[in-house]
Amino acid sequence: MARIQLENISKAFGKVQALDGISLDVKDKEFFVLFGPAGAGKTTILNCIAGIVMPEEGVVKFDDQIMNLTDSAHRNVAMVFENYALYPQMTVYDNMASALRSKLYKADESVIKERIQWAAKIMKMENLLERLPSQLSNGQKQRVAMGRALVRNPNVFLMDEPLAHLDAKLRNSMRTELKEMQANLGSTCIYVTHDFMEAMALGDRIAIIKEGKIVQIGNGDAIYYMPCNEFTAQLMGDPEINLIEAEITGTGNPYSVQFRIKDEQIVLELPEDNGVYAKIRELGLKKIHVGIRPQNVKYSFEPKEGYFKASVYSYESIGNKSVIVADCGDVFHNQLRMIAPNGLNVAIDSDVYIHLQLDHAIFFDPESRKYIVRYDEAAYIALAAAQEER
Amino acid sequence: MAGLTLNHVYKRYDNSGKKKKVKNDFAVKDLNLVCEQGEFVALLGPSGCGKTTTLRMVAGLEEITQGEIYIGDRLVNNLHPKDRNIGLAFEDYAMYPPLNVYGNVAFNLRAKKVDKAEIDRRVREIAPLMQIDDILDKMPVKLSGGQKQRVNIARAIIREPELLLMDEPLSHLDGKARQAMRTEIKRLINKIKCTTVYVTHDQLEAMSLADKIAIINFGVLQQFGTPAEVYDDPVNEFVASFIGEPPMNILETTIIKKDGMFFFTFKDSNLQIAVPRRYYSVVSDGFRCKMGVRPMDVMIGGENSHGTPEEIATFENLGDERRIGIHVGDILLMLITEDEKRYKRGDIVKLEVREEKTHLFDINTGDRIREKN
- Integer Cα distance of A67 and A159 in angstroms: 19
The confidence band for A106, taking pLDDT boundaries of 50, 70 and 90, is: confident
- Integer Cα distance of B105 and B101 in angstroms: 6
Q: Is the pLDDT of residue A297 over 90?
A: yes
Give Dmax (Cα) for chain A. 78
Are A359 and A292 contacting, i.e. CB atoms less than 8 angstroms apart?
no
Alpha-carbon gap: B207 to the closest alpha carbon of chain A (Å)? 6
A299 forms beta bridges with A354
- Integer Cα distance of A136 and B305 in angstroms: 43
The confidence band for A312, taking pLDDT boundaries of 50, 70 and 90, is: very high
The answer for B 88-117 residues in CB contact with A (under 8 A) is: none
Alpha-carbon gap: A58 to the closest alpha carbon of chain B (Å)? 34
Hey, of A180, A202, A357, which one would you mutate to test binding to chain B, going by the most B CBs within 10 A of its CB? Answer: A180
- Integer Cα distance of A332 and A176 in angstroms: 35
Residue range A20-26: mean pLDDT, rounded: 96
ipTM: 0.88
> What are the residue ranges spanned by the domains of chain A?
4-235, 242-379
B332 touches chain A (CB under 8 A): yes
- Note whether A201 contacts B317, CB cutoff 8 Å: yes
Strand order in the sheet with A264-269: A264-269, A255-261, A242-250, A287-292, A362-364, A371-374
Per-residue confidence (pLDDT) for residue B24, from 0 to 100: 53
The string of pLDDT tens digits covering residues A317-368 is 887 889 999 988 765 567 899 999 988 889 989 999 999 999 999 999 999 9
Hey, of B316, B323, B345, B354, which one would you mutate to test binding to chain A, going by the most A CBs within 10 A of its CB? Answer: B316
Give Dmax (Cα) for chain B. 82
Q: Is the pLDDT of residue A47 over 70?
A: yes
B257 forms beta bridges with B262
- Integer Cα distance of A339 and B293 in angstroms: 23
% of chain A exceeding 90 in pLDDT: 69
Q: Tell which CATH architecture fits domain A4-235.
A: 3-Layer(aba) Sandwich (3.40)
Alpha-carbon gap: A131 to the closest alpha carbon of chain B (Å)? 22
Per-residue confidence (pLDDT) for residue A332, from 0 to 100: 58
Per-residue confidence (pLDDT) for residue A335, from 0 to 100: 87
DSSP-derived 3-state class of residue B24? coil
User: What does the pLDDT profile of chain B (373 residues) look like in tens digits?
Assistant: 789 999 999 998 876 555 555 555 789 999 999 999 999 999 999 888 999 999 999 999 999 999 999 999 999 999 999 899 999 998 888 889 999 999 999 998 999 899 999 999 999 999 988 889 999 999 999 998 888 999 999 999 998 999 999 999 988 787 778 888 898 899 899 889 999 999 999 999 999 999 999 999 999 999 999 999 999 999 999 999 999 888 999 999 999 999 999 999 999 999 999 999 999 999 999 999 999 999 999 999 988 888 899 999 999 999 889 999 999 998 999 999 988 899 999 999 999 999 999 999 999 999 999 987 6
| DSSP letter assigned to residue B346 | T
Residue range A226-236: mean pLDDT, rounded: 95
- Integer Cα distance of A183 and B325 in angstroms: 14
- Integer Cα distance of B176 and B182 in angstroms: 10
Residue range A78-107: mean pLDDT, rounded: 90
Nearest to A314 among B187, B323, B344 (CB): B187
Q: How many Cβ atoms sit within 10 Å of the Cβ of residue A171?
A: 21
B231 touches chain A (CB under 8 A): yes
Q: Tell which CATH architecture fits domain A242-379.
A: Beta Barrel (2.40)
DSSP-derived 3-state class of residue B45? coil
Best CA proximity match to B220, nearest among B29, B353, B367, B370 = B29
- Note whether A317 contacts B207, CB cutoff 8 Å: yes
Alpha-carbon gap: A55 to the closest alpha carbon of chain B (Å)? 31
Per-residue confidence (pLDDT) for residue B20, from 0 to 100: 56
